[in-house]
Amino acid sequence: MQQKIFLKRSTRKTIWFYIFILPSILGFLAFVVYPVGRSLYLSFTDMQLTRPDEMKWVGLKNYLALFSGKDPFFWQALKNTFIYAVCNIVGTLALGLLSAMLLNVRVKGQNIFRTIFYVPSLLPAVATAIMFRWVFDPTNGIINTILRAIGISNPPIWLEGASTALLTLIIISLYAFGGKMIIFLTGLNGINRSYYEAAEIDGAGYWYKFVKITLPLLSPIIFYNTIMGTIGALQVFTEGFVVSGAGPGNSTLFYVLRLYNLAYQEPYRLGQASAMAWVLFVIIGAITAVYFIFSKYFVFYENEGK
């Protein structure tokens, strides 16, 4: 009898478990699985947002159109995105690590300084983009006002120039290194001080300790930040859409911005935009796979004794 009661209780718990997770499962199916599957299907059609009833199956035509040059903006957008991504990843990693090491030094008001450095990364992306558009305004912006005050009579026009627009967006993107800084701080706090003490006894200097101790033990953190930074940077959209659009001469036409323009501007080619989305998915997946393949050569895990 006791065994039957136990089984009934177990069954009730199982039922309640599934009842409680049902909203999450339904949400995942409705807002993740279905849109992903639908976009894959649409990528093989000539779907237009304004004429859904006229949709036809076209096979690989959308993909061939992208790589054959029929879309004159595909390669330009891909190039801009890769340049932005490389600079953003390297810049935010360097700033995040440098600021983490400086803020890891025990000084009075340490937590206040950490908060000041981290807060900018919490600001809404759209609001920040609008703010920086004003900061880099060639006529009334703070940057050019300062440059004129120190004697530079002809300062750059930043977002208005084809040669400087992409560079300006890269500079703007570097402000949000706070997330990486916090992760680096966590990694630095996890390094056993005995390594540094042993190195100091042997007469090791600061640079030697940084290269031989800090970097190897932070390599898993660097690896994680690199992967997450790559995924985020290759999907850059807000900076281009809000701050500069495609920019002069399409100099800031990013991949996702081009995808958005294809889908939601005339002639609303949702099928081709879906194909672009899946190409980006494959690119990100391939780059991530390469990271993992080569990680065994530069990622050091202390507990594995490598």
What is the per-residue pLDDT for 7? 58
pLDDT at residue 304 in the model? 60
Q: How confident is the prediction along the chain (306 residues), in pLDDT tens digits per residue?
A: 444 445 577 788 888 899 999 999 999 999 999 999 999 999 999 999 888 888 999 999 999 999 988 888 999 999 999 999 999 999 999 999 999 999 988 888 888 888 888 888 888 888 888 889 899 998 889 999 999 999 888 899 998 888 899 999 999 999 889 899 999 999 998 888 888 889 888 888 889 899 999 999 999 999 999 999 999 999 999 888 888 777 888 889 999 999 999 999 888 999 999 999 999 999 999 999 999 999 988 888 876 654
DSSP state of 263: H
Q: Which two tokens stand for residue 209?
A: 């300790």
Determine contact, residues 100/273, Cβ cutoff 8 Å.
no
Helix axes 74-103, 165-173, angle to 10 degrees: 40
Burial 99-111 (b: 16+ CB within 10 A, else e): bbbebeeeeeeee
Q: What tokens appear for 71 in the block?
A: 């879309």
- How many residues are present in the chain? 306
Q: For 228, what's the count of Cα atoms within 13 Å in the CB-facing half-sphere? A: 12
User: Residue 138: which of 164, 173, 120, 119 has the closest Cα?
Assistant: 164
Q: Report phi then psi at 204, rounded to 5.
A: -70, 140
pTM to 2 decimal places: 0.89
> Distance between CA 71 and CA 50 in Å, rounded?
20
Tally of CB atoms within 10 A around 255: 28
Q: Which residues contact 64 (CB under 8 A, 6 or more apart)?
A: 70
pLDDT computed for residue 2 by the predictor: 47
Please state whether 151 falls in left (phi above 0), alpha (psi between -120 and 50) or beta.
Answer: left
C-alpha atoms less than 13 angstroms from C-alpha of 283 in its C-beta half-sphere: 19
Domains of the chain: 63-298 (1.10.3720.10)
What's the burial of 23, exposed, middle or buried (CB within 10 Å: 0-12/13-18/19+)? exposed
Structure tokens at 291: 């990271």
pLDDT value at position 60? 94
Classify burial at 19, counting beta carbons within 10 Å of its beta carbon; exposed 0-12, middle 13-18, buried 19 or more.
exposed
Helix (H, G, I), strand (E, B) or coil at 253: coil
Cβ atoms < 10 Å from Cβ of 194: 8
